[in-house]
Chain A
Amino acid sequence: MQTKPDRNMTLTDLPVGCDARVTTVNGTSRVSRRLMEMGVIPGVDVRVVKMAPFGDPIEVRVRGYSLAMRRSEADGVEVSL
């Protein structure tokens, strides 16, 4: 995945404990589809709860439950504060 110069903020940029709202879900169709099936769709509120010991994966709270994802997946989820 190439980094655009005017890259939008994604879940990986979000500091731990910070609330945000999902704007777009990118990634390969397999990953984005799975993310959305798990409830991560544009308009939903998310929060990064914590990071694993080596900074990856991260734990995200969405729709009242906890979802762990690797940074590679989280990078496709664009958010706004």
Chain B
Amino acid sequence: MNDTGNNSQITIALAGNPNAGKTTLFNSLTGLKQKVANYPGVTVERKEGPWKLNGTAANLIDLPGLYSLDATSLDEHIARDIITGDQKGVQKPDAIVAVVDATNLERNLYLVMQLFEFGVPVVIALTMIDVFEKEKHEIDVEMLSVLLKTPVVPVNAKSGRGRAELAAKIKEVLGNKPTVPYVFEEREEDGPHGKIFARYKFISTVVQESVWHSDQKQHRLSEKIDRILTHKFFGLIILIAILLLVFQTIFSWANLPMDLLGKGFGSLADLVRAEMPPGILTDLLADGIIAGVGGVVVFLPQILLLFFFISLLEDSGYMSRAAFLLDKLMSRVGLHGKAFLPLISSFACAIPGIMATRTIESRRDRFATIMIAPFMSCSARLPVYTLMIAAFFAGQTVFGFISLGAVLMLAMYALGIIVAIIVAFVLKRTVLKSPPPPFLMELPPYRLPNLRTVFQNMLTRAFLFLKRAGTVILAISIILWALMYFPRSLSVPPAVAGGLSTDSTSVEMTNVQPPATASGTDSEQLKHSFAGKLGHVIEPVIKPLGFDWKIGVALIASFAAREVLVSTLSIIYNVGKDENEQSETLIAAVRDAKTDDGKPAWTPLTALTLMVFFVLAMQCMSTIAVVRRETNSWSWPLFMTAYMTALAYVGALITYQGGKLLGFG
């Protein structure tokens, strides 16, 4: 410890293969006080937390999961820089805890061999040893330690076994000059990969001397499970069943908390209106900030649930099986098998879907997946589809027995998928062109998921979503609110309610049930606002799509979030703000709406055009904010918004003009 006496804090790096139990150990050592961020300029996650070394405080840095340190991938590059002290903002580690999975000793030790070469003291934390011993293998930990000239501590994150000993051993090695257990000789006949040979050769000797295998029991169990779960036919059926179950659960379980959150934010806005004097500040707080942020926080239950299931699937080892089953299908479009789950999740909501792409290692594959995720028809598009179908296609059938509405709904989902496939195909051959990264994926043995890891992962994701997306969304909410709020229309009588009484309860009563004229004035205000003017400005552009300026206003508003279209249309057509999409009156209002020259504003063709536009357009600021975070740049979300909206315009144009040519509308 002599060397580190001057340093304010000891830094320890935690390194290990993926699936070696590194995250579980990290959670068990640091508890809940973790910090998660990105390394500057890249999307590699930086995770650290405090670790009490029997009284001494240390900072534990969780390196990305690694198979090697040869700096061929971004993760490896960053990990290497951290260990050598070249990563800005990270103190050079004083020691490394190498997590080694006892059931997969040879390959896990490969990384350790490389760690030895950096001259930083290493302590090996041997995980899964309980499993290993249960299978009647024997491992001579002492012998292993002697051969590797390195302390080896068997640990079990669940029972806490080895935690204190690990801390003690770390304190022992701090400041020591580590002894390298083997001398590497470069031999010409081994070729460019001679080093890899040498490392594995040494590992084989070590393992031979310290491990006695009886029978590969666990692997046999995993193989038995795999006989069904990755079966050519049943494997796919089971995969579909699991996905259906997950999404059914997300949809049905998330509904109630989402409703409650939505209502909660509604009441909060009402409370603000009731308790604060009417005016700009109150309106900004209630309609801009609370409504805007509330509209995002509403997605939280879906995110929590999806990440609960993703962590569960990943921790159990099933996720890589799903990627294994679907890789061929996905690779035809140029995507990784692991892209499947994020894309499927995007049918619920693109935000968790995009966050779930983190499991894809290759940056280009990951970005291609992010770029097409929003084409999956998410739940926010449903109100729009429902309204359009209810207003113009209700009660009609195809072939006399299939509901036209159901066919259209299915067609919208299919359109999104087809366009996504085409876009992925194009992207992977242009901007995201890359030689296919080697597809080498470990299929870890099935294990019971560690619930603590699952929950912690879920909470981390939720927190990141709230923190990062929240700031951007707040800003955009305020801008959109201002567009619809300013300039103030003269016809709105200012501060009607405020003049009534200073008694808060009576004000609350007035505000909770606004007078019937309120929606009328809202509609006037919207017409004269910047958004209303913008509607007029863009009218020539959207006219070829069959949209008048009023639909234009609703379109502009819906760029905040798709479902806003419904409430904005309600305001424009004076239906009353809280009508939902099922409302008879809104449906009637949309049907009866007239353009300024007295013609019907909507036809079934207009409705279909609008639906096509909504399938393709990037109208969700939360998604934009999340893409910004996940790609760590503004250019990707802007590119996404631009190309999707361009596609939406072209798609809508083809629909409307083509429909007119065919004699519809």
Binding site for B on A (CB under 8 A): 25, 28-39, 41, 44, 49-57, 59, 61, 63-70, 72-73
Query: What B residues does A29 contact at CB under 8 A?
Result: 192
Query: What B residues does A38 contact at CB under 8 A?
Result: 67, 107, 440, 442
Query: What B residues does A72 contact at CB under 8 A?
Result: 436, 439
The residue of chain B having its C-beta at the shortest distance from the C-beta of A37 within the complex is B68
Query: What A residues does B197 contact at CB under 8 A?
Result: 36, 41
A53→B232 contact, CB < 8 A: yes
B196→A41 contact, CB < 8 A: yes
Interface-centre pick from B107, B219, B226, B323 (highest chain A CB count, 10 A): B107
Per the bound structure, the CA–CA distance linking A50 and B320 in Å amounts to 14
Query: What A residues does B306 contact at CB under 8 A?
Result: none
Per the bound structure, the CA–CA distance linking A32 and B197 in Å amounts to 13
With A53-B325, A57-B328 as known contacts, state yes or no: A37 contacts B196, CB within 8 Å. yes
B110: CB under 8 A from chain A?
Answer: yes
**Considering the complex of A and B, which 8 residue pairs feature the smallest CB-CB distances, nearest first?**
A54-B328, A66-B443, A37-B68, A70-B439, A31-B438, A63-B106, A68-B441, A36-B196
Shortest CB–CB separation between residue B45 and chain A, in angstroms?
A: 22
With A53-B235, A64-B216 as known contacts, state yes or no: A33 contacts B72, CB within 8 Å. yes
B328→A55 contact, CB < 8 A: yes
Per the bound structure, the CA–CA distance linking A39 and B115 in Å amounts to 17
Shortest CB–CB separation between residue A71 and chain B, in angstroms?
A: 9
B230: CB under 8 A from chain A?
Answer: yes
With A32-B193, A37-B70, A67-B443 as known contacts, state yes or no: A52 contacts B438, CB within 8 Å. no
B324→A68 contact, CB < 8 A: yes
A73→B324 contact, CB < 8 A: no
The residue of chain B having its C-beta at the shortest distance from the C-beta of A56 within the complex is B328
16 interchain pairs, CB-CB under 8 A: A29-B192, A33-B196, A34-B72, A34-B440, A38-B440, A41-B193, A41-B197, A50-B230, A53-B233, A54-B328, A56-B331, A59-B443, A66-B445, A68-B323, A73-B439, A73-B440
The residue of chain A having its C-beta at the shortest distance from the C-beta of B441 within the complex is A68
Query: What B residues does A49 contact at CB under 8 A?
Result: 223, 226
Query: What A residues does B329 contact at CB under 8 A?
Result: 54
For the complex, count residues of B whose C-beta is within 8 A of A: 44
Per the bound structure, the CA–CA distance linking A52 and B236 in Å amounts to 10
With A33-B70, A37-B67, A57-B439 as known contacts, state yes or no: A68 contacts B320, CB within 8 Å. yes
B455: CB under 8 A from chain A?
Answer: no
Shortest CB–CB separation between residue B649 and chain A, in angstroms?
A: 37
B38: CB under 8 A from chain A?
Answer: no
Query: What B residues does A35 contact at CB under 8 A?
Result: 438, 440
A68→B440 contact, CB < 8 A: yes
Per the bound structure, the CA–CA distance linking A59 and B442 in Å amounts to 9
B393: CB under 8 A from chain A?
Answer: no
Binding site for A on B (CB under 8 A): 67-68, 70, 72, 103-107, 110, 192-193, 196-197, 200, 216, 219, 222-223, 226, 230, 232-233, 235-236, 320, 323-325, 327-329, 331, 337, 435-436, 438-445
Shortest CB–CB separation between residue A28 and chain B, in angstroms?
A: 8
Per the bound structure, the CA–CA distance linking A49 and B442 in Å amounts to 13
Say what secondary structure dominates the interface of chain B: helix
The residue of chain B having its C-beta at the shortest distance from the C-beta of A61 within the complex is B219
Query: What A residues does B323 contact at CB under 8 A?
Result: 68
Per the bound structure, the CA–CA distance linking A67 and B442 in Å amounts to 5
Number of A-B residue pairs at CB separation under 8 A: 120
Shortest CB–CB separation between residue A66 and chain B, in angstroms?
A: 4
B438→A34 contact, CB < 8 A: yes
Per the bound structure, the CA–CA distance linking A54 and B329 in Å amounts to 8
Query: What B residues does A63 contact at CB under 8 A?
Result: 104, 106-107
Shortest CB–CB separation between residue A6 and chain B, in angstroms?
A: 22
Query: What A residues does B439 contact at CB under 8 A?
Result: 57, 68-70, 72-73
A70→B320 contact, CB < 8 A: no
The residue of chain A having its C-beta at the shortest distance from the C-beta of B104 within the complex is A65
Per the bound structure, the CA–CA distance linking A70 and B444 in Å amounts to 17
Per the bound structure, the CA–CA distance linking A41 and B232 in Å amounts to 29
Shortest CB–CB separation between residue A64 and chain B, in angstroms?
A: 6
Per the bound structure, the CA–CA distance linking A57 and B328 in Å amounts to 7
Question: Can you add 15 more A-B contacts, CB < 8 Å, to A52-B232, A65-B442, A67-B442?
Answer: A29-B192, A33-B193, A39-B200, A41-B200, A52-B327, A53-B232, A53-B235, A53-B325, A54-B329, A56-B331, A57-B441, A59-B230, A63-B106, A67-B443, A73-B440
With A36-B193, A37-B196, A72-B436 as known contacts, state yes or no: A57 contacts B226, CB within 8 Å. no
A67→B441 contact, CB < 8 A: yes
Per the bound structure, the CA–CA distance linking A22 and B322 in Å amounts to 28
With A55-B328, A68-B324 as known contacts, state yes or no: A73 contacts B438, CB within 8 Å. yes
With A36-B193, A66-B443, A67-B442 as known contacts, state yes or no: A52 contacts B325, CB within 8 Å. yes
The residue of chain A having its C-beta at the shortest distance from the C-beta of B107 within the complex is A39
The residue of chain B having its C-beta at the shortest distance from the C-beta of A29 within the complex is B192
The residue of chain A having its C-beta at the shortest distance from the C-beta of B192 within the complex is A29
Query: What A residues does B70 contact at CB under 8 A?
Result: 33, 37
Query: What A residues does B103 contact at CB under 8 A?
Result: 64
A52→B324 contact, CB < 8 A: yes
Query: What A residues does B331 contact at CB under 8 A?
Result: 56, 70
Query: What B residues does A73 contact at CB under 8 A?
Result: 438-440
The residue of chain B having its C-beta at the shortest distance from the C-beta of A62 within the complex is B107
Query: What A residues does B443 contact at CB under 8 A?
Result: 59, 65-68
Query: What A residues does B235 contact at CB under 8 A?
Result: 53
The residue of chain A having its C-beta at the shortest distance from the C-beta of B233 within the complex is A53
Query: What A residues does B441 contact at CB under 8 A?
Result: 57, 67-69
Query: What B residues does A25 contact at CB under 8 A?
Result: 193
Shortest CB–CB separation between residue A74 and chain B, in angstroms?
A: 10
Shortest CB–CB separation between residue B332 and chain A, in angstroms?
A: 9
Shortest CB–CB separation between residue B33 and chain A, in angstroms?
A: 34
Shortest CB–CB separation between residue A15 and chain B, in angstroms?
A: 15
Per the bound structure, the CA–CA distance linking A25 and B192 in Å amounts to 12
Per the bound structure, the CA–CA distance linking A28 and B437 in Å amounts to 11
Per the bound structure, the CA–CA distance linking A31 and B72 in Å amounts to 11
The residue of chain A having its C-beta at the shortest distance from the C-beta of B196 within the complex is A36
Query: What B residues does A50 contact at CB under 8 A?
Result: 226, 230
Query: What A residues does B233 contact at CB under 8 A?
Result: 53
Per the bound structure, the CA–CA distance linking A21 and B578 in Å amounts to 70
Per the bound structure, the CA–CA distance linking A61 and B436 in Å amounts to 23
Interface-centre pick from A28, A38, A51, A66 (highest chain B CB count, 10 A): A66
A39→B236 contact, CB < 8 A: no
